[in-house]
Amino acid sequence: MAKTAANRALPEERDIPSKGAATRALIMETALGLFNEENASDVSTNQIAAEAGISPGNLYYYFRNKEEIIRALFPAIRDGIAEPLTYPKGEPISAERMANDYVSAIEVLWRYRFFFSDLIGLGQRDPELGAMIQTLQDDTIVTMADMYQDIMDQGDMVPVGQKTNELLALNSFLVWFSWVSFMDRASDPRKKREQRLADGALACLAIIDPYLKPAYRTAVHEALEALMNRRQKTKPKTRRR
């Protein structure tokens, strides 16, 4: 059915987010910043509203409670982890791509570090989120196992049995998801963000390093070093929060 002049949106109206969508996004981004600075359990909705420059009533119009805000952040977390680690079947995984995708996934862990630093607590306080976290964990382990199998199939990783591959994926998952908590507590605060990301990628790679063929392993590490050097040179200086 053709749109009438009365209900046809003007081009500029389609391009500009609605005020409601913008306010919702503001609340989510503000909450994320506060959650990362403090424990999510210690941040109140009143704090989020004050930091966002809106009234508590306005916040409650979009989110009934803090748990709803965290659940609203979850799709970006889930997709941000899955996308860099998922490859079309049969498509070669180059050393450069693997290095880049490892760093991309690590960036997601760091951006949402409040989440990965308190997976158990968040799940216990919100059973609905807990079920989502469990699915994320299961899916990530399967995705990692598939990725390792693809690298074996292309001849760049020593072939191992299904059980060993599953254990490699499980161990990788444990390192990935605990890395942020460790870095937040043990990392030298003088280290720049890019170096922390590199440390995280190296920690995760260490799980499968012994199984990578020498030439591929060297290429991955060289690609990672080159990538981080480029990012360090091009990244604009920002005030550390």
DSSP 10: P
Q: For 139-177, how does the pLDDT look when each residue is reduced to its tens digit (9 = 90+)?
A: 999 999 999 999 999 999 999 999 999 999 999 999 988
pLDDT of residue 157: 98
Q: For 207-227, how does the pLDDT look when each residue is reduced to its tens digit (9 = 90+)?
A: 999 999 999 999 999 999 998
- Residue 180 — very low, low, confident or very high, per pLDDT cuts 50/70/90? confident
- Residue 3 — very low, low, confident or very high, per pLDDT cuts 50/70/90? very low
pLDDT of residue 187: 55
- Residue 181 — very low, low, confident or very high, per pLDDT cuts 50/70/90? confident
- Domains annotated on the chain, with CATH: 15-64 (1.10.10.60), 67-234 (1.10.357.10)
Dist. CA 195–CA 133, nearest whole Å: 28
Q: For 18-34, how does the pLDDT look when each residue is reduced to its tens digit (9 = 90+)?
A: 778 999 999 999 999 99
Q: For 111-136, how does the pLDDT look when each residue is reduced to its tens digit (9 = 90+)?
A: 999 999 999 999 999 999 999 999 99
How many alpha carbons fall within 13 Å on the CB side of residue 48? Answer: 34
Q: For 74-123, how does the pLDDT look when each residue is reduced to its tens digit (9 = 90+)?
A: 999 999 999 988 888 878 999 999 999 988 998 999 899 999 999 999 99
The DSSP-derived string for 94-158 is -HHHHHHHHHHHHHHHHHTHHHHTSHHHHHHH-HHHHHHHHHHHHHHHHHHHHHHHHHHHTTSB-
pLDDT of residue 235: 58
SS3 27: helix
